[in-house]
Copies of this chain bind each other. A is one copy, B any other.
Amino acid sequence: MEARIEKIKQQLQSQGYKLTPQREATVRVLLENEEDHLSAEDVYMLVKEKAPEIGLATVYRTLELLSDLHVVEKMNFGDGVARYDLRNDNNTHHHHHLICVQCGAVDEIMEDWLTPLEERLEKEFHFKVIDHRLDFQGICHRCNKKDK
């Protein structure tokens, strides 16, 4: 955890930004809730527990900054709220989402299933892929069980 903060600090500094206490608190919240897909408001409330004087605008600005640096990914699941996901070490994003339409849970699949498709895209469509996003909507295994 400390190592990851250190790395993010260096990424910021290499672009001329500082890891201020507010930014660090925000990053820590993201690290501690890596499974979840927090909204800016979620992050704000969690950061407030540690650093009550922080402002919502700062959280937005920090998330925006981290998003520009590809430290987090900004994402939108269709409920008018942006959600933020820490990217992994090489700042790529290769996981897929399983969104349960019944309970709203968002699970992740950490494998990348799309590499063959991306190759096909470049060959057949001359589209150079930089990133992708794959979400499945359906009923998760927990709700499947409950329904029986």
Cβ-defined contact, A131 with B138, below 8 A: yes
Cβ-defined contact, B141 with A136, below 8 A: no
The 8 Å CB contact of A125, one of B109, B125, B126, B130, is B109
The 8 Å CB contact of A127, one of B74, B134, B140, is B140
Cβ-defined contact, B128 with A138, below 8 A: yes
Cβ-defined contact, A113 with B109, below 8 A: no
The secondary structure that dominates the A interface is strand
The 8 Å CB contact of A139, one of B78, B113, B127, B135, is B127
* A117 on interface, CB distance cutoff 8 Å: yes
Report copies per complex. Answer: 2
When C-beta atoms are compared, the residue in chain B nearest to A117 turns out to be: B113
Cβ-defined contact, A133 with B133, below 8 A: yes
* A121 on interface, CB distance cutoff 8 Å: yes
| 0/1 interface trace, chain A 107-146, chain B, CB 8 Å (1 if under) | 1010001000110010001111111111111111100100
Cβ-defined contact, B74 with A76, below 8 A: no
Pick 16 A–B contacts, CB within 8 A, sort by A: A74-B78, A76-B77, A80-B82, A107-B125, A107-B127, A109-B125, A121-B138, A125-B141, A128-B139, A128-B144, A129-B138, A132-B135, A132-B136, A132-B137, A133-B137, A134-B135
Q: Which residues of A contact B (CB under 8 A)?
A: 74-78, 80, 82, 98, 101, 107, 109, 113, 117-118, 121, 125-141, 144
